[in-house]
Amino acid sequence: MAIMTALLTCPQNCLVSIYTDSQSSIQLLENKTQYLNTRKKFKIKNFSIISSIQHIIDTLSLKITLHKIKAHSGNGFNDLADNLAKSASAEILAINPSSIKLHSTISFNQQIVDHPLRSFIKIISHSQTINKWRTQPILAKIIPPNTSINWTYTEFCLSLSNYSMFTERNSHFYHGSLLSFKYEILHNTLPTIKILTRNYPTLLPPNLNCLYCNQYPENITHLFTCHVNPSTSLIPWSTIQQIVTLSISNWYSPSQQTKILQRLQPLLLSNFNNISPITLAVGIIPYSLSDSIHSILKSHKKSSLILHYISYNLITFYYKEIWLPRCSLFNSWLRQNNINLKNKTSNQTYPSITVTQQNSTRNSIPLNYPTNSHLTLINNFIETGSNFLLPR
């Protein structure tokens, strides 16, 4: 857009030298995209801008030369252009579709789709899927009441592809197990004793409680907070703080590190606003936490990485230090009582109880998110080209 507006100020039949730090813009302009067929044009991002630039060059008979310069290298004119771009109005310039040499244009809500068509359809389809998933009533059991959730950061923490940064220590198979563990907690399908007694009513005693305390039924909440199990009080907050500090030191200069760590200190000391560690472990990120971190780091990418580190280390702790030892303990208990859950027809010690459930209407719990808001986010994606706020 900056190149296009600069060319609009040029007189006819002149030589123009453009210095830019955008290598992609240079490649698109040098590839003569006006000669591509319609199918290939739909695969180019910002084709309306590229086509408009070609239209201006042809109309004014300009001869342009493009020069690549290094970004943030102390070039005075480049820094001046960056500052002007940052201070410019947020109003978006409209492009006349007649300058786009296509047989037809793709539009969504009366706006031209200026993105690769296949990826755009994939994004809006995934957006609707995520929108349906996050309005499930079952998620209300893990999300604290009256808590606004940042679903963009949450979706980042729940994506298996973002676990690739941890492959040095663990395999992809392990990360798949870890992610399944997350989803079982979120959907309340983790095979706790309470769930197992419901699924195997004839093999397990109906009053079987937590194997550690033998006082309360073992559901997900009690599993991770049982006061008799010493591991539940060993949440590795100090390790997480060290990882956050190390990440900050890798991203910023020493002078910047000191300022950022001073501002992060209250968050670190409060264990991230005293948000439930189980909520953070499964990747549910409240706006209160994401906004606090983003206001300090001023970067969505770095903020999402910090939150991902926190979630990953917490879920690793719950999986290795609590869930796996509990599974070993439960398997030992099964062997001692000669119970084989794989064979549902043997050792039916307890009579089967038939429970008649009354028909009830399940009302959807809104979870502080309107169901039609993804349309607004898609419009923002078309206008600004940024899909960070759009569920992917």
pLDDT single digits (tens) 192-223: 999 999 888 888 888 899 999 999 999 999 99
Same domain? For 336 and 240 the reply is: yes
What is the tens place of the pLDDT at every residue in 301-350? Answer: 899 999 999 999 999 999 999 999 999 999 999 999 888 887 765 555 66
Residue 182 lies in a domain: yes
**Residue that has been written with the tokens 């679903």 in this structure:** 151
Question: Rounded mean pLDDT of the chain?
Answer: 79
Instruction: Look up residue 167 and give its two tokens.
Output: 């492959």
Sequence-distant (≥ 6) Cβ neighbours of residue 24 within 8 angstroms: none
What is the tens place of the pLDDT at every residue in 259-282? Answer: 999 999 888 888 888 888 999 999
In this prediction, residues 133-161 reach a mean pLDDT of: 82
**Residue that has been written with the tokens 């089967």 in this structure:** 352
Same domain? For 222 and 292 the reply is: yes
In this prediction, residues 25-46 reach a mean pLDDT of: 71
Residue 74 lies in a domain: yes
Same domain? For 161 and 88 the reply is: no
DSSP secondary structure code for residue 11 in this structure: P
What values do phi and psi take at 278, rounded to 5? -65, -40
Same domain? For 205 and 348 the reply is: yes
Taking 80 as the threshold, does the pLDDT of residue 153 lie above it?
Answer: yes
Number of domains in the chain: 2
Residue 122 lies in a domain: no
Residue 195 lies in a domain: yes
Same domain? For 39 and 168 the reply is: no
What local confidence, expressed as pLDDT, does residue 169 receive?
61
Q: How do strand 107-108 and strand 63-68 relate by DSSP bridges?
A: unpaired
Residue 154 lies in a domain: yes
| pTM above threshold 0.75 | no
Domain that holds residue 70: 2-105
Same domain? For 70 and 198 the reply is: no
Sequence-distant (≥ 6) Cβ neighbours of residue 361 within 8 angstroms: none
Measured over the CA atoms of residue 38, residue 43, residue 47 and residue 51, the dihedral's sign is negative
Instruction: Look up residue 293 and give its two tokens.
Output: 């971190």
What local confidence, expressed as pLDDT, does residue 26 receive?
79
Residue 83 lies in a domain: yes
SS3 for 224-265 is: CCCCCCHHHHCCCHHHHHHHHHHHHHHHCCHHHHHHHHHHHH
In total, the chain counts a number of residues equal to: 392
Residue 388 lies in a domain: no
Q: Is 154 helix (H, G, I), strand (E, B) or coil?
A: helix
Q: Is 361 helix (H, G, I), strand (E, B) or coil?
A: coil
The enclosing domain of 88 has a CATH number of 3.30.420.10
Residue 48 lies in a domain: yes
| CA gap 67, 48 in Å, rounded | 22
